[in-house]
Amino acid sequence: MRILGIDPGFDRVGVCILEKVNNQYKYIFSCLISTDKSMHLYERIFEISRDLEQIIKKFEPQKAVIEKVFFSNNQKTAIDVAQSRGVICLECVKNGVEVIDVSPSQMKLAVTGDGNASKDQVKEMVFRQLKLKSSGKIIDDSIDAIALCLML
C-alpha cells in the first residue's frame, strides 16, 4: 500500500510517500511544497493544489494521512492553513485517495509513545523506524509528513 503523508500549510507543505508491505515501511519520496510569500493566498493555495496533484498522479497512493490544523495564538494563520488543508483534502479525494485526519498529538503518540514529544524526538523515531541515516535529503519540514505515514 502506498501512503501519502501531508503536514499542511500555505508557506510550506511537508509531503511524503511511503510503501507499506507486511508491516514494513519503505521510504519512497518526500519533499517540501513551498510558495512565494509575495503571492496572494489563493494563488499560493492553487500552486499547492497543482503540485500535490502531480505527486498523487506520479506515486498513486491509496491513503493520505493529513494532520489536522492546530489553533494556536495566531488565528489568522490557522485560518489560512485550514483553507489550504481543505484544498489538500479536496485534491486527495478528487484523485481517489482516502483521507485520514490525525491531530498532532495523535501522531506524536503513535510514533514516539508520547503525545507531547518534541520535533527532535519525532525526527529521531522516524529515522529509527525507517532505518534512515540522517542526511540533507530529507527536509526537516517533511519529518511530520513521514511520521504521519508511519501511523498506518
Active site residues: 7, 67, 141
Q: Is 12 exposed, middle or buried (0-12, 13-18, 19+ CB in 10 A)?
A: middle
Q: Specify which residues 122 forms β-bridges with.
A: none
| C-beta of residue 78 within 8 angstroms of C-beta of residue 8 | no
| C-beta of residue 67 within 8 angstroms of C-beta of residue 148 | yes
Amino acid at residue number 23: N
